Amino acid sequence: MVTLYPENSGAACYTIYLNIIISAMMTEKKNIIIFGRELIEEDSIRQIERCITSSEDIAVINADAHYGYSHPIGGAVAYKDKISLSGVGFDIACGNYAIRTDVPVKDIRVPEIMDEIYRRISFGIGRPNNEPVDHEVLDKINKAEFIPQRKLFKLAQEQLGTVGAGNHFVDLFEDAEGLLWIGVHFGSRGFGHKTTTGFIALSRGSSFDERVREGPMDSPPILFDINTDIGQSYIEAMTLAGEYAFAGRELVIKKVLEILGNPSVTYSVHNNHNFAWREKHFGSMYWVIRKGCTPAFPGQKGFIGATMGEDSVIVEGVDSDLSRKALFTTVHGAGRVMSRTKSAGRKKWIRGRDGIRKLKTISKGLVDFEEVKSKMSKRGIELRGGDADEAPECYKRLDEVLKCQGDTIRVIFRLRPVGIAMAAGETYDPYKD
């Protein structure tokens, strides 16, 4: 193990593991770069180790990393001839989109605006749009090259321009000049989820639309050889799901702008994670899979959301030796430190005799969400929805995480939250684990 202490690194917040053997069963030598080693639990590190399958693979795990399905959230792996379904994940092309308006925050009524956002935009996984929408991406789905995706047209149409559950949001921010920003975070909705589960079924020899169990969190990663039919089909399907995710975020931003009276947009940044990119690194071509982490090439802008109550940031990739070793990859958020069950307790949806689903608490969590809401209110933040599992104490501190990324990025804007809209805890979520 070699520990490096570069200038401006944030006190040795990254560790490079070079040429190590991770277990008796895996004898090949591995290359893994770990940012913020002290912030990451061992389970996540073991997951990224299992994702490496040859001496040519390169892995990066960022300071916001935490345990995920087969592949840690906040981890990137570069493969020469493989693509990882597990690394892309269920929410294909989940991403962040932020725009700056020419409107001063002091000139708008934030509570009323947040009420209207929560009324017109649908929050919660599996929920349809409150308003009919249309977009050219729907025509592409109707004529998808990967034919099984065409069967998902109705689902895609119903959910386009909707926001999921969990840490997905529509927020209002104020920058240092007092100007209003709009920021959103969500992905490809049920269309992406069904695409992923369909390929899990195909990987097991079943049909695309056959229901299969996803398997445990520590399942080996599902890898497709890019030179096979299933590998090429997955790339096509993933790409289309990515276009769908981008279209959804654009529609939501457009709707918020309409609510605001269509002010001018003076700055925008739109980036995604949970995807596979074809890129050149160290003189060779790779498929770089980034799960819960964002591309940050020199000059490339990124919107990184913090916890409710903390400043989010707009960052820019920096050209440095460390950036190159990190595959020009950075964080996408703060990263969890407390599970959803531990924070919010265990709950279960039960259908009553009247046929209506009701949420029943099985066990209480550690977070008092009423106290969280009170703190938000005292800070002048208008909160709509949310639950204990999205409280600030469930996450790492974003500033600490960013410090651990060293000279790979620089912050160019800090955004103070003034309005937060998320799915409520009682929102029915058929996909939530």
Which tokens hold the place of 330? Answer: 């950075």
User: Would 235 be classed as within a structural domain?
Assistant: yes
In a domain, 429, yes or no: no
Tokens of 391: 């409280």
Residue 295 domain-assigned (yes or no): yes
- Domain with residue 386: its CATH number is 3.90.1860.10
Share of the chain above pLDDT 90, in %: 80
In angstroms, the CA 290 to CA 334 distance is 16
Measured CA distances, 216 to 70, 192, 213, 343 (Å):
8, 20, 9, 21
Please check whether residue 208 lies inside any domain of the structure: yes
Residue 432 lies in a domain: no
Residue that the structure tokens 């689902």 belong to? 155
CA 334 from centre of chain: 11
The values of phi and psi at residue 151, to 5°, are -65, -15
pLDDT by residue for the chain (433 residues), tens only, comes to 222 223 334 444 444 333 332 222 222 236 899 999 999 999 999 999 999 999 999 999 999 999 999 999 999 999 999 999 999 999 999 999 999 999 999 999 999 999 999 999 999 877 899 888 999 999 999 999 999 999 999 999 999 999 999 999 999 999 999 999 999 999 999 999 999 999 999 999 999 999 988 888 889 999 999 999 999 999 999 999 999 999 999 999 999 999 999 999 999 999 999 999 999 999 999 999 999 999 999 999 999 999 998 999 999 999 999 999 999 999 999 999 998 889 988 877 788 777 777 777 788 889 999 999 999 999 999 999 999 999 999 999 999 999 999 999 999 999 999 999 999 976 554 433 2
Query: Within a domain: residue 89?
Result: yes
Q: What is the mean pLDDT of the chain?
A: 90
Indicate whether 9 belongs to any domain.
Answer: yes
41 found inside a domain: yes
Q: Which domain covers residue 50, as residue numbers? A: 2-424
Domain count, the chain: 1
What's the predicted TM-score (pTM) here? 0.90
